[in-house]
C-alpha cells in the first residue's frame, strides 16, 4: 500500500514551483471563474507557467474580466478565452461545447464551478440545482469534451472539484429531487452533489486508466469565497455550534472527523493543481484528493460501494438522455 504525503495543505506557488513547467504550451479549461472564486485563483496561478490557451467559463463575461486582467499582468503572452456556460441547463452545456469546435485538444479540464446550500430550485432540466450544477452538468461536459481530452494524450487530466462534504453525503437514488423540494435539506443536498462528484471520478478514473488520462476529485479545503453567499443566519449559527462543540462530527459510517479550518485561496487552488500535474500520484486513478494527496480514508462505504458507481452512471445517462460509453 502506498503511503501518501499530505497532512498540511500546500500553497499553489509551492506545487507549481515543483511541477508547473509541465503546463507550458497546454490548453486548459477551467469552470467557475470569478475574481473571488477558487477557479479564479487557479486561473491566475497556472497562467504564470506559459500555457498556450486558457479557456475560462462563467455565466457572464463580467465575472471573468478581473481575472483576465490579473492573468495579463502576470503573463501578457498567454491566450485567454471566455466561454459562456450555464451549468443549470444541459442545453447550454451542449451549446458551449459546440463553441469550442475550433479547439482541437484540451490538456486539462478542471471543473470547479459549484453552488452551496441555495434555497430549493430546479435546473432547466428539472433537477435539484446542486445535483444538476455541481454534478450532472459535469458528467455531460466530460462526455462531450472527452474526444478533445483524448486528443491531448496521456497525462492530460480531468479534475472534478468536490468537498469534505463527501463525508456525510449520499446519493438518494430513490429521491434525488427531495420529493420536488418538500423534503429539501440544503446541506444534505450539497453532500449528495459532492458524493456524486466523487463517485463519478472514481468510476471514470477506473474506466480511463488504460489511456493514461489523470482523473481525480478534489477537496479544496475551506476558503472564504462567493460560495458562502447562501449562508443565512440560521445556517451560520449551526456552524458556530458545531465549531464550538467538543464532540467531533461523524461521517456516514460513524467515524469522527473535524470541521476544516479556513485557508487562503492559494491553498484552496493547490490541490486542484496537484490533481492536474503532480506525477507522484499518477497511479491513484480516480482518487479523492485532500491536502494535496489521495485520501481514501475520507471516503465512506456509500461512496466506495461499486454498485452505487454503476447506479449513478446509469442514472446520469438517463438524465442526460444518452449513453456515455467508455
Ligand atoms: N470555498 C470552500 O470553502 C469550498 C470548500 C469545499 C468545496 N468547495 C467547492 O469549490 C468549488 C468552487 O467554489 P468557490 O469556493 O470558488 O465558490 P464561488 O466563489 O461561489 O465560485 C463558484 C463559481 O461557480 C459558478 N457557478 C455557480 N452556479 C453556476 C452555474 N449554474 N453555471 C455556471 N457557473 C456557476 C459561480 O458563478 P457566479 O459567480 O455567476 O455565481 C462561481 O464563479 C465549488 O464547486 C465548491 O463546491 C469550496
| 325, part of any domain | no
Give pLDDT, residue 229: 85
The grid coordinates listed for 56 are 475560462
The string of pLDDT tens digits covering residues 203-232 is 999 999 999 999 999 999 999 998 888 888
Among protein residues, the one whose CA lies closest to atom 21 of ligand 1: 37
Q: What is the pLDDT of residue 7?
A: 66
Contact predicate 205/287, CB 8 Å: yes
Q: What is the mean pLDDT of residues 10-20?
A: 97
Cα separation of 4 and 2, whole Å? Answer: 6
Q: What is the pLDDT of residue 1?
A: 37
Is 250 among the domain residues? yes
Q: Is residue 262 part of a domain?
A: yes
Choice from 191, 225, 262 to test ligand 1 binding pocket (greatest atom count within 8 A of CB): 225
- Tell me the per-residue pLDDT of 67-95, one tens digit each, with 9 for 90 and over: 999 999 989 999 999 999 999 999 999 99
Distance 132 CA to ligand 1 centre (A): 13
For residue 38, the CA-to-ligand 1 centroid distance in Å is 8
> Region 304-316: what's the mean pLDDT?
98
The CATH number of residue 260's host domain is 3.40.50.720
Query: Domain range spanning residue 251?
Result: 12-320
Neighbouring residues of 115: CB distance < 8 A, sequence distance ≥ 6? 129, 130, 133, 134, 227, 230
| CA–centroid distance, residue 226 to ligand 1 (Å) | 7
**Residue 99 · residue 145 · CB < 8 Å:** no
Q: Among 56, 41, 74, which residue's Cα sits nearest to residue 265?
A: 41
Pocket test for ligand 1, best of 9, 30, 38 (most atoms within 8 A of CB): 38
C-alpha cell at 318: 438517463
Whole-number percent of the chain with pLDDT over 70: 98
Return the pLDDT at 241: 80
| Ligand 1 atom closest to Cα of residue 262 | 3
Ligand 1 pocket: which of 40, 113, 295 to mutate (most atoms <8 Å of CB)? 113
CA–centroid distance, 161 to ligand 1, in Å, is: 9
307 backbone dihedrals φ, ψ, rounded to 5°: -60, -35
Give me the pLDDT at residue 3, please. 46
- Whether residue 7 lies inside any domain: the answer is no
Task: Please tell me the total count of domains within the chain.
Answer: 1
| Residue 326 within a domain | no
Task: Give the position, in ligand 1's atom list, of the atom nearest the Cα of 123.
Answer: 31
Instruction: Say if 5 falls within a structural domain.
Output: no
pLDDT tier, 246 (very low <50, low <70, confident <90, very high otherwise):
confident
Query: Catalytic: 178?
Result: no
Domain assignment present for residue 266? The answer is yes
- Residue 182 burial (10 A CB sphere; 0-12, 13-18, 19+): exposed
- Residue 1 placed within a domain: no
Amino acid at each position: 500500500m502506498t503511503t501518501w504525503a499530505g497532512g498540511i495543505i500546500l500553497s499553489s506557488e509551492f506545487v507549481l514551483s515543483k511541477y508547473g513547467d509541465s503546463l507550458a504550451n497546454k490548453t486548459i479549461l477551467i469552470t467557475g471563474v470569478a475574481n473571488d472564486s477558487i477557479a479564479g485563483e487557479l486561473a491566475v496561478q497556472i497562467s504564470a507557467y506559459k500555457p498556450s490557451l486558457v479557456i475560462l467559463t462563467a455565466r457572464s463575461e463580467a465575472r471573468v474580466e478581473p481575472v483576465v486582467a490579473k492573468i495579463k499582468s502576470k503573463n501578457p503572452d498567454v491566450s485567454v478565452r471566455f466561454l459562456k456556460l450555464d451549468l443549470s441547463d444541459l442545453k447550454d452545456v451542449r451549446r458551449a461545447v459546440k463553441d469550442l469546435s475550433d479547439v482541437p485538444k484540451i490538456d486539462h479540464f478542471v471543473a470547479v464551478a459549484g453552488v452551496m446550500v441555495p434555497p430549493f430550485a430546479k435546473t432547466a432540466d428539472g433537477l435539484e440545482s446542486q445535483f444538476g450544477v455541481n454534478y450532472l452538468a459535469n458528467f455531460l461536459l466530460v462526455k462531450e469534451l472527452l474526444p478533445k481530452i483524448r486528443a491531448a494524450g496521456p497525462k492530460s487530466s480531468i479534475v472534478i472539484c468536490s468537498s469534505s462534504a463527501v463525508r456525510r453525503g449520499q446519493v438518494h437514488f430513490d429521491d434525488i429531487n427531495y420529493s420536488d423540494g418538500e423534503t429539501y435539506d440544503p446541506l444534505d443536498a450539497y453532500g449528495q452533489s459532492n458524493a456524486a462528484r466523487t463517485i463519478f471520478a472514481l468510476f471514470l478514473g477506473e474506466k480511463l486508466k488504460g489511456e493514461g488520462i489523470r482523473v481525480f476529485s478534489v477537496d479544496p479545503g475551506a476558503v472564504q469565497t462567493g460560495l458562502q453567499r447562501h449562508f443565512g443566519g440560521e445556517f451560520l449559527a449551526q456552524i458556530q455550534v458545531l465549531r464550538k462543540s467538543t464532540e467531533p462530527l461523524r461521517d456516514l459510517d460513524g467515524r469522527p472527523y473535524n470541521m476544516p479550518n479556513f485557508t487562503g485561496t492559494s491553498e484552496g487552488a493547490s490541490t486542484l493543481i496537484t490533481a492536474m500535474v503532480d506525477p507522484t500520484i499518477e497511479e491513484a486513478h480516480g482518487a479523492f484528493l485532500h491536502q494535496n494527496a489521495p485520501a481514501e480514508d475520507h471516503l465512506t462505504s456509500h461512496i466506495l460501494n461499486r454498485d452505487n458507481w454503476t447506479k449513478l452512471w446509469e442514472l446520469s445517462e438517463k438524465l442526460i438522455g444518452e449513453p456515455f460509453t467508455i
